[in-house]
Amino acid sequence: MGHQGASLAPRDAFAVGCRSKSIGLLNQAASWFAKALAETPDHEKTSGNATYSVAKAMAYLGVIKYSMDEVSEGLSLMEKASELDPEDDEIVKLYLSHRHGRDIHRLKEFPTEPKMVHWLQLCQNTSRSPNSTVLLNGPAKWYHVCRYRKARAVPYKVYREEILSRSPHLSLLHQVASDAEADKLINVALTKVSTYYWQDGMVSLCLCLRKVVSFLPSPSLMLILRSTASLFTLQVITTVMNNVDIAATLSARLSEVTGLDTTERFPHHSSGEPFHVLNYGLAGTFLPHLDVNRNYKSTYLMTHSGERMASLILYLSDVISGGATAFNLLNITVIPRKGNALLLYNLRANGDREEDAEHTGCPVAVGAKWGFVLIPVAVASKGVWSWGNELRHPCGKRKMSSHLEVDKMSQRLRR
């Protein structure tokens, strides 16, 4: 079924099937539902002791078979599912509607336009090179080089940076955070995911299968979530602000490496967002999108801080298979490695939007376990805003100046 390692449990196979069905990958969903049913012992199917809903797996598989013109097999599966769990209204309604040919809702199918097909190809390439960090789907360019960035505050401290794209500017910063720091940030996030409160500047929220289960006092933050909720299937997202020690430490580290002001100053003007710690979950994905969202413009947490000029993605866990960040128009795929950080400029040096910065989070196939909690892939994303960075990262001398040129100019000015 893809990654050749330890077989997934039936419950996990069912979860992957649900995720595949939700984004329209019907053939893959049917395979995962069939796998879950095949590996579940018969006595668990009838006794109700299975770790997932066997009846739903049968019903969903039946609906997919029906949509693929395998009508008799589909109806048979839905009938068995309704007999197995007659109390489930969804299953009974599915069976009756398909049996009588009424009110049948067409299943969502994965878009076939070239952009989405190319995205899938980029994501599938990661399984062929599991030990790589970056996959360039094409010839290397002259600017694909590694360089050392000097720390602003710590003498003789340098960080290794791998330049992946010049326009839009995309670079991979190696070993920005230690394993202990990554684990500590995950630990902070895990203690907050089941609660919501607004106290001492901390916001916690939980997104499960696109449903917001907590209430947010900020209309602008709610707008951000509403405008992107159709793009992702995440298990948990938690917002951790800078009053937490580890968040403040890592925020200062990212500022030191990039030269940008990443400070979050809620409720005043902010140069940086708080950390958004995301656990993608098994088969979790983030469909192609731009980080400069036109829907909420410059409003974030009820403050106006200009444009979201850059995005930082800090990888908090290693991934065995899947979970990469793919840049569709650049033909670049970055595989998560714990402690690495990805720097993406959403705006050109002259302030224009980078339309080619579209990227996606690939589905997670096999992840790593952290503590007693399965963390297929955990990342901490942090937006950097133009307010407060006018002098740190000014406009270039020419209209088409790159961020590399601006960065060199800024380093000379700091000396």
Q: What is the pLDDT of residue 212?
A: 30
Picking from 100, 135, 151, the residue at the C-terminal end of a domain is 100
CATH code for position 44? 1.25.40.10
Measured CA to CA in angstroms, residue 102 lies from 51, 69, 137 at distances of 32, 16, 47
Helix (H, G, I), strand (E, B) or coil at 145: coil
Q: Do 241 and 142 sit in the same domain of this protein?
A: yes
Query: Which of 28-42, 95-109, 227-241, 377-391 has the lowest average pLDDT?
Result: 227-241
Q: Do 380 and 245 sit in the same domain of this protein?
A: yes
Q: What is the pLDDT of residues 118-143, one digit of tens each?
A: 877 888 776 666 667 888 777 777 77
Q: Do 46 and 147 sit in the same domain of this protein?
A: no
The DSSP letter of residue 144 is -
CATH code for position 349? 2.60.120.620
Q: Do 382 and 326 sit in the same domain of this protein?
A: yes
Picking from 40, 68, 100, the residue at the C-terminal end of a domain is 100
Q: Do 260 and 364 sit in the same domain of this protein?
A: yes
Q: Do 30 and 161 sit in the same domain of this protein?
A: no
Strands 202-203 and 198-199: antiparallel
- Angle at CA of residue 41, ends 39 and 46, nearest 5°: 125
Q: Is residue 208 part of a domain?
A: no
Q: Do 295 and 345 sit in the same domain of this protein?
A: yes
Strands 232-233 and 211-212: unpaired
Q: What is the pLDDT of residue 397?
A: 75
Q: Do 275 and 301 sit in the same domain of this protein?
A: yes
> Domain containing 370: what range?
116-185+232-414
* Better-scored residue on pLDDT, 110 or 253: 253
Q: Do 87 and 124 sit in the same domain of this protein?
A: no
Q: Is residue 239 part of a domain?
A: yes
Q: What is the pLDDT of residues 290-304, one digit of tens each?
A: 887 654 444 555 456
Report, as an integer, the average pLDDT of 366-378: 49
Beta-carbon-side half-sphere exposure of residue 233 (alpha carbons within 13 Å) = 20
Query: Which of 136-145, 190-199, 358-367, 393-402 has the lowest average pLDDT?
Result: 190-199
Residues 6 or more apart whose CB falls under 8 angstroms from that of 102 comprise none
Q: What is the pLDDT of residues 218-277, one digit of tens each?
A: 333 333 333 333 444 455 556 666 677 888 899 999 998 898 988 887 666 778 888 888
Q: Do 64 and 155 sit in the same domain of this protein?
A: no
Q: Is residue 95 part of a domain?
A: yes
Q: Which residue has the tokens 């080619």?
A: 356
Report, as an integer, the average pLDDT of 65-93: 92
pLDDT(204) > 50: no
pLDDT(344) > 80: yes
Q: What is the pLDDT of residue 62?
A: 94
Task: Name the pLDDT band for 2 (thresholds 50, 70, 90).
Answer: very low
* Better-scored residue on pLDDT, 135 or 171: 171
Q: In terms of C-beta density within 10 A (0-12 exposed, 13-18 middle, 19 or more buried), how is residue 107 classed?
A: middle
Measured CA to CA in angstroms, residue 332 lies from 135, 169, 219, 234, 338 at distances of 6, 12, 35, 23, 19
Contact status, residue 181 vs residue 250, Cβ threshold 8 Å: yes
Q: Is residue 89 part of a domain?
A: yes
* Better-scored residue on pLDDT, 123 or 162: 162
Q: Is residue 190 part of a domain?
A: no
Query: Which of 57-61, 168-172, 289-293, 333-337 has the lowest average pLDDT?
Result: 289-293
Tell me: cis bond preceding 168? Omega within 30 of 0 counts: yes
Q: Do 308 and 397 sit in the same domain of this protein?
A: yes
Q: What is the pLDDT of residues 24-54, one digit of tens each?
A: 888 888 998 999 999 998 888 877 777 889 9
Tell me what the pLDDT averaged over the chain comes to: 76
Q: Is residue 373 part of a domain?
A: yes
For the full predicted model, state whether its pTM sits above 0.85. Answer: no
Q: What is the pLDDT of residue 200?
A: 28
Question: Could you give the CA distance from residue 368 to residue 5 in angstroms, rounded to a whole number?
Answer: 13
Q: Do 344 and 401 sit in the same domain of this protein?
A: yes
* Better-scored residue on pLDDT, 318 or 226: 318
Picking from 69, 100, 131, the residue at the C-terminal end of a domain is 100
Number of domains composing the chain? 2
